[in-house]
Amino acid sequence: MTRFDGALLRARRETLGLTIEELSDLTGLTRRRRYTVLMDLESGAIQPSVVALGKLCRALGVDPSALFSGEPDDDADDRPTDLGEATDRAIAELLAAAPPMTDRQAARMSAILFGGAS
């Protein structure tokens, strides 16, 4: 099973020559805790929310699958065949594991992930 990999987040950030503070500014994550959140994500102490994953991917210029590692499930016939399908599936898996959202929260998350007004 694939899982978010904080080491891949750190590697991408370092490849781009960004400090945690600079990535923090680019993501716009909650100002009060964003530095700590990024450190915890990179160390593997926490998993990102769908919103945080979208912001990180946008700031780092990567597809969500670039921040996941592990062996895919054994069912080869059910694997995505293109990057868009893989992204949609990764987002759907994260949404399925997330706590329930209000309509307003869902609309905001959609705007963050896919662009548009919030």
**Burial 3-16, CB ≥16 within 10 A → b, else e:** ebbbebbbebbeee
| Residue-level pLDDT at 102 | 83
Non-local (6+) Cβ contacts of 99 within 8 A are none
On the question of pLDDT at 75 being above 60, the answer is: no
Please provide the average confidence, as pLDDT, over all residues in the chain: 80
| Residue-level pLDDT at 52 | 87
Residue 99, amino acid: P
| CA distance between the termini of the chain | 33
| Residue-level pLDDT at 118 | 47
Q: What is the DSSP letter of 71?
A: P
Non-local (6+) Cβ contacts of 17 within 8 A are none
Give the domains, in start order, of the chain with CATH numbers.
3-74+84-114 (1.10.260.40)
Site of tokens 């896919």: 114
pTM to 2 decimal places: 0.59
Tens of pLDDT, residues 95-115 = 777 777 788 887 887 777 777
> Residue 92 and residue 106: Cα distance in Å, rounded?
13
By mean pLDDT, which of 11-25, 44-58, 70-84, 98-112 is the weakest? 70-84
Tens of pLDDT, residues 78-88 = 555 566 777 77
